[in-house]
Protein backbone atom coordinates (compact mmCIF):
# COMPACT_ATOMS: atom_id res chain seq x y z
CA UNK A 1 0.00 0.00 0.00
CA UNK A 2 0.93 3.63 -0.48
CA UNK A 3 -0.51 5.31 2.61
CA UNK A 4 -0.88 9.06 3.03
CA UNK A 5 -1.61 10.19 6.60
CA UNK A 6 -2.82 13.74 7.17
CA UNK A 7 -2.11 14.37 10.84
CA UNK A 8 -3.79 17.22 12.70
CA UNK A 9 -2.74 17.69 16.32
CA UNK A 10 -0.66 20.53 17.74
CA UNK A 11 1.09 18.42 20.41
CA UNK A 12 3.64 15.86 19.15
CA UNK A 13 3.39 13.89 22.42
CA UNK A 14 -0.40 13.59 22.15
CA UNK A 15 -2.20 10.27 21.78
CA UNK A 16 -2.95 11.25 18.19
CA UNK A 17 0.80 11.54 17.75
CA UNK A 18 1.29 8.09 19.27
CA UNK A 19 -1.28 6.60 16.89
CA UNK A 20 0.39 8.12 13.83
CA UNK A 21 3.83 7.05 15.02
CA UNK A 22 2.62 3.47 15.59
CA UNK A 23 0.90 3.34 12.20
CA UNK A 24 3.98 4.59 10.34
CA UNK A 25 6.23 2.07 12.09
CA UNK A 26 3.89 -0.89 11.56
CA UNK A 27 3.16 -0.09 7.91
CA UNK A 28 6.83 0.51 7.11
CA UNK A 29 7.87 -2.72 8.84
CA UNK A 30 5.26 -4.56 6.76
CA UNK A 31 6.79 -3.22 3.54
CA UNK A 32 4.26 -0.48 2.78
CA UNK A 33 5.15 3.08 1.77
CA UNK A 34 3.99 5.91 4.02
CA UNK A 35 3.95 9.68 3.70
CA UNK A 36 2.76 12.01 6.47
CA UNK A 37 1.59 15.61 6.34
CA UNK A 38 1.88 16.83 9.93
CA UNK A 39 -0.11 20.01 9.46
CA UNK A 40 0.93 21.84 12.62
CA UNK A 41 4.60 20.90 12.20
CA UNK A 42 4.37 22.14 8.59
CA UNK A 43 2.74 25.38 9.77
CA UNK A 44 0.13 24.68 7.12
CA UNK A 45 -2.03 27.71 6.33
CA UNK A 46 -5.71 26.68 6.40
CA UNK A 47 -7.01 29.98 4.99
CA UNK A 48 -8.23 29.97 1.39
CA UNK A 49 -7.66 33.13 -0.63
CA UNK A 50 -5.71 34.21 -3.70
CA UNK A 51 -2.54 32.85 -2.11
CA UNK A 52 -3.86 29.41 -3.17
CA UNK A 53 -2.86 30.29 -6.72
CA UNK A 54 0.02 31.58 -8.79
CA UNK A 55 -2.33 32.40 -11.67
CA UNK A 56 -5.41 34.60 -11.94
CA UNK A 57 -8.56 33.59 -13.76
CA UNK A 58 -10.89 36.43 -12.76
CA UNK A 59 -9.10 39.48 -11.38
CA UNK A 60 -12.18 41.44 -10.29
CA UNK A 61 -13.96 38.81 -8.19
CA UNK A 62 -12.58 35.84 -6.29
CA UNK A 63 -14.60 32.68 -6.75
CA UNK A 64 -12.54 29.77 -5.56
CA UNK A 65 -13.91 27.17 -7.97
CA UNK A 66 -13.27 29.45 -10.96
CA UNK A 67 -9.68 29.97 -9.83
CA UNK A 68 -9.22 26.24 -9.18
CA UNK A 69 -10.42 25.44 -12.69
CA UNK A 70 -8.03 28.02 -14.11
CA UNK A 71 -5.13 26.81 -11.97
CA UNK A 72 -5.76 23.19 -12.94
CA UNK A 73 -5.40 24.08 -16.60
CA UNK A 74 -2.45 26.44 -16.17
CA UNK A 75 -0.24 24.80 -13.53
CA UNK A 76 -1.29 27.56 -11.18
CA UNK A 77 -1.52 26.14 -7.67
CA UNK A 78 0.68 27.49 -4.90
CA UNK A 79 3.60 25.26 -3.97
CA UNK A 80 2.13 24.12 -0.65
CA UNK A 81 -1.12 23.00 -2.30
CA UNK A 82 0.64 21.35 -5.23
CA UNK A 83 2.77 19.34 -2.80
CA UNK A 84 -0.35 17.99 -1.09
CA UNK A 85 -2.05 17.27 -4.42
CA UNK A 86 0.97 15.21 -5.45
CA UNK A 87 0.71 13.15 -2.25
CA UNK A 88 -2.96 12.52 -2.95
CA UNK A 89 -2.16 11.45 -6.50
CA UNK A 90 0.52 9.11 -5.15
CA UNK A 91 -1.49 7.34 -2.45
CA UNK A 92 -3.94 4.48 -2.65
CA UNK A 93 -4.95 4.90 1.01
CA UNK A 94 -5.72 8.20 2.76
CA UNK A 95 -5.98 8.46 6.56
CA UNK A 96 -7.10 11.52 8.51
CA UNK A 97 -5.71 11.47 12.06
CA UNK A 98 -7.31 14.03 14.38
CA UNK A 99 -9.13 14.77 17.65
CA UNK A 100 -12.81 15.50 17.12
CA UNK A 101 -13.34 19.14 18.13
CA UNK A 102 -16.75 20.77 18.27
CA UNK A 103 -18.29 17.75 16.53
CA UNK A 104 -16.00 17.92 13.52
CA UNK A 105 -12.53 18.34 12.08
CA UNK A 106 -9.97 20.68 13.64
CA UNK A 107 -9.89 23.92 11.67
CA UNK A 108 -6.43 23.23 10.27
CA UNK A 109 -7.59 19.93 8.76
CA UNK A 110 -10.84 21.39 7.43
CA UNK A 111 -8.77 24.19 5.89
CA UNK A 112 -6.48 21.59 4.31
CA UNK A 113 -9.53 20.04 2.65
CA UNK A 114 -10.84 23.44 1.57
CA UNK A 115 -7.55 24.34 -0.11
CA UNK A 116 -6.36 20.98 -1.43
CA UNK A 117 -9.57 19.33 -2.66
CA UNK A 118 -9.60 21.56 -5.71
CA UNK A 119 -12.19 21.54 -8.46
CA UNK A 120 -10.97 19.88 -11.66
CA UNK A 121 -7.97 18.31 -9.91
CA UNK A 122 -10.02 16.40 -7.31
CA UNK A 123 -13.65 16.60 -8.44
CA UNK A 124 -15.90 18.09 -11.10
CA UNK A 125 -16.93 17.25 -14.63
CA UNK A 126 -19.20 14.44 -13.45
CA UNK A 127 -16.50 12.90 -11.24
CA UNK A 128 -18.13 12.38 -7.87
CA UNK A 129 -19.13 9.62 -5.47
CA UNK A 130 -18.66 6.17 -7.05
CA UNK A 131 -17.43 7.79 -10.28
CA UNK A 132 -15.08 10.07 -8.36
CA UNK A 133 -11.43 10.83 -8.99
CA UNK A 134 -10.31 8.44 -6.23
CA UNK A 135 -12.46 5.52 -7.35
CA UNK A 136 -10.89 2.25 -6.24
CA UNK A 137 -8.82 3.86 -3.48
CA UNK A 138 -9.52 3.70 0.24
CA UNK A 139 -9.82 6.26 3.02
CA UNK A 140 -10.29 6.04 6.77
CA UNK A 141 -10.73 8.36 9.72
CA UNK A 142 -8.70 7.74 12.87
CA UNK A 143 -9.76 9.97 15.72
CA UNK A 144 -9.82 10.54 19.43
CA UNK A 145 -12.74 11.80 21.50
CA UNK A 146 -13.06 13.61 24.79
CA UNK A 147 -15.80 11.31 26.06
CA UNK A 148 -16.70 7.65 26.07
CA UNK A 149 -18.86 5.64 23.68
CA UNK A 150 -21.98 6.11 25.82
CA UNK A 151 -21.97 9.87 25.35
CA UNK A 152 -21.51 9.38 21.59
CA UNK A 153 -24.19 6.70 21.22
CA UNK A 154 -27.50 7.18 19.40
CA UNK A 155 -29.19 8.15 22.66
CA UNK A 156 -26.09 9.73 24.21
CA UNK A 157 -25.90 13.32 25.35
CA UNK A 158 -23.78 14.46 22.40
CA UNK A 159 -25.38 12.20 19.81
CA UNK A 160 -24.32 9.37 17.55
CA UNK A 161 -20.63 9.61 16.61
CA UNK A 162 -21.42 8.26 13.15
CA UNK A 163 -23.83 11.15 12.54
CA UNK A 164 -21.06 13.59 13.44
CA UNK A 165 -18.64 11.83 11.10
CA UNK A 166 -21.06 11.47 8.17
CA UNK A 167 -20.26 14.90 6.65
CA UNK A 168 -16.58 13.91 6.62
CA UNK A 169 -16.96 10.30 5.50
CA UNK A 170 -19.64 10.96 2.89
CA UNK A 171 -19.49 14.68 2.18
CA UNK A 172 -15.70 14.80 1.74
CA UNK A 173 -14.14 11.37 1.24
CA UNK A 174 -16.93 9.50 -0.56
CA UNK A 175 -17.80 12.61 -2.57
CA UNK A 176 -14.42 12.42 -4.31
CA UNK A 177 -14.66 8.68 -4.89
CA UNK A 178 -12.89 6.97 -1.99
CA UNK A 179 -14.16 3.68 -0.62
CA UNK A 180 -14.59 4.81 2.99
CA UNK A 181 -13.69 2.36 5.73
CA UNK A 182 -15.29 2.31 9.19
CA UNK A 183 -13.51 4.82 11.45
CA UNK A 184 -11.04 3.90 14.14
CA UNK A 185 -12.08 5.65 17.34
CA UNK A 186 -10.00 5.92 20.51
CA UNK A 187 -12.54 6.83 23.17
CA UNK A 188 -11.40 9.43 25.71
CA UNK A 189 -7.69 8.54 25.83
CA UNK A 190 -6.97 11.45 28.19
CA UNK A 191 -9.09 9.68 30.81
CA UNK A 192 -8.10 6.12 29.94
CA UNK A 193 -5.63 3.92 31.79
CA UNK A 194 -2.17 3.24 30.40
CA UNK A 195 -3.29 -0.32 29.74
CA UNK A 196 -6.29 0.89 27.72
CA UNK A 197 -4.13 3.30 25.72
CA UNK A 198 -1.65 0.55 24.92
CA UNK A 199 -4.54 -1.64 23.80
CA UNK A 200 -5.83 1.20 21.61
CA UNK A 201 -2.48 1.42 19.85
CA UNK A 202 -2.36 -2.34 19.30
CA UNK A 203 -5.92 -2.26 17.92
CA UNK A 204 -5.04 0.60 15.60
CA UNK A 205 -1.95 -1.17 14.27
CA UNK A 206 -4.15 -4.19 13.51
CA UNK A 207 -6.65 -1.93 11.74
CA UNK A 208 -4.15 -0.21 9.46
CA UNK A 209 -2.51 -3.50 8.53
CA UNK A 210 -5.92 -4.96 7.63
CA UNK A 211 -6.99 -2.03 5.41
CA UNK A 212 -6.95 -4.10 2.19
CA UNK A 213 -9.36 -6.65 3.67
CA UNK A 214 -11.67 -4.24 5.50
CA UNK A 215 -15.21 -3.92 4.13
CA UNK A 216 -16.05 -0.31 3.26
CA UNK A 217 -19.11 1.50 4.58
CA UNK A 218 -22.07 0.74 2.31
CA UNK A 219 -23.46 3.82 0.57
CA UNK A 220 -26.04 4.01 -2.24
CA UNK A 221 -24.62 4.02 -5.76
CA UNK A 222 -25.16 6.88 -8.19
CA UNK A 223 -27.40 4.52 -10.15
CA UNK A 224 -29.72 4.34 -7.13
CA UNK A 225 -30.63 8.00 -7.61
CA UNK A 226 -32.97 9.57 -10.14
CA UNK A 227 -30.68 11.64 -12.42
CA UNK A 228 -33.20 14.50 -12.58
CA UNK A 229 -34.25 14.84 -8.95
CA UNK A 230 -31.08 13.38 -7.36
CA UNK A 231 -33.35 11.54 -4.95
CA UNK A 232 -33.27 7.81 -4.30
CA UNK A 233 -35.42 6.02 -6.84
CA UNK A 234 -37.20 4.00 -4.17
CA UNK A 235 -38.37 7.24 -2.54
CA UNK A 236 -36.66 6.69 0.80
* pLDDT, tens only, 131-142: 999 999 999 999
Residue 147, domain CATH: 3.40.50.360
Work out the number of other CB atoms within 10 angstroms of the CB of residue 49. 11
To the nearest 10 degrees (0 to 180), the angle between helices 194-209 and 15-29 is 40
In a domain, 230, yes or no: no
The pLDDT score that the predictor gives to residue 235 is: 67
Task: Tell me how far CA of residue 101 lies from CA of 45, 53, 155, in angstroms.
Answer: 18, 29, 20
Residue 233 falls within a domain, yes or no? no
Q: Judge whether 21 and 127 are in contact, CB under 8 Å.
A: no
User: Considering the domain boundaries, does residue 163 fall inside one?
Assistant: yes
158 inside domain: yes
**146 phi-psi bin (left φ>0, alpha ψ -120 to 50, beta other):** alpha
Query: What pLDDT is recorded for position 78?
Result: 95
Alpha-carbon distances, residue 24 vs 34, 85, 124, 179, 186 (angstroms)? 6, 20, 32, 21, 17
**Cα 180 to Cα 104: distance, rounded to the nearest angstrom:** 17
Q: How many Å apart are CA 184 and CA 187, to the nearest integer?
A: 10
**Residue 229 maps to a domain:** no
Report how many domains make up the chain. 1
pLDDT at 25: 97
22: in domain:
yes
Q: Which domain holds residue 125?
A: 2-224
Within-domain flag for 208: yes
Q: What per-residue confidence (pLDDT) applies to 79?
A: 96
Output the pLDDT for position 50: 94
Alpha-carbon distance 144 to 99, whole Å? 5
SS3 of residue 218 by DSSP: coil
> Can you list the residues of the chain whose pLDDT is less than 50?
none
Residue 168 lies in a domain: yes
Amino acid sequence: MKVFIVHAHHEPKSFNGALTEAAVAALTDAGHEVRVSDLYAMDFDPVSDRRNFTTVGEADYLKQQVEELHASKNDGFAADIEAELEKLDWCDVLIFQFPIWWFGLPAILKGWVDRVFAMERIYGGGRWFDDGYFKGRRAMLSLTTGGGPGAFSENGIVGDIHAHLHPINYGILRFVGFDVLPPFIAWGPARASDERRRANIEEYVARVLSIPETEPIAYPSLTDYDPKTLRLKNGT
